[in-house]
Amino acid sequence: MDEILDGKPFDAAVGRFILMYLPDPVAALRSVSQVVWSGGVFVFQEPCWVPVLAHLASLPLWFATASLIDKTMRASANHDMGTELYQIFVEAALPEPAMRMELPLGKEPYLAQWYYDTLCSLRPQVEQLHLPIESLGSLDTLVHRLQAEVAESKTVACWFASVGAWYRKA
């Protein structure tokens, strides 16, 4: 950060899914805000799984899959950083940010594929944490079973929510 602070200011500071991994996101925002010039934009986007788990409660396999991903991610990251962005901006002595949450919903096959791909990438951590991945059944058929469950339901599935927070520096 010192190398950045020694240079010229930037027009914008943008961070996506990074604060969730930092031990002190308030200090990080405070430092980054120093490198954005007056009139510049300061934007961060972080995930939130609270609405996901609430929405998927009526789809047992989707809920179990999302819960397993959520528990795994929580071992190394703040999986609900998105809803904490407002407080973090304020604690960093930044202006109150404008905010927006987006939650992709639907029955499209790519949603099931995203869950499968995410779970596969997290599999070493799932096993290290001794989480019950076998409760999902065969991963070889997971995408098909997720798609079948949502197709037979009277609801839609969802991916994680993205929360954005931003302000223009005065």
Question: In the chain, where are the structural domains located?
Answer: 2-168
How confident is the model at residue 170, as a pLDDT?
A: 87
The ranges of the chain with pLDDT < 50 are none
pLDDT at 2: 57
Per-residue model confidence (pLDDT) at position 8: 78
Instruction: Return the pLDDT at 4.
Output: 57
Spatial separation of the C-alpha atoms in residues 168 and 170, rounded to whole Å: 6
CA pair distance 161, 56, nearest whole angstrom: 13
For residue range 17-59, what is the model confidence (pLDDT) as tens digits? 999 999 999 999 999 998 899 999 999 999 999 999 999 999 9
Q: How big, in percent rounded to 5, are the helix, strand and coil portions of the chain?
A: 50, 20, 25
pTM (predicted TM-score): 0.87
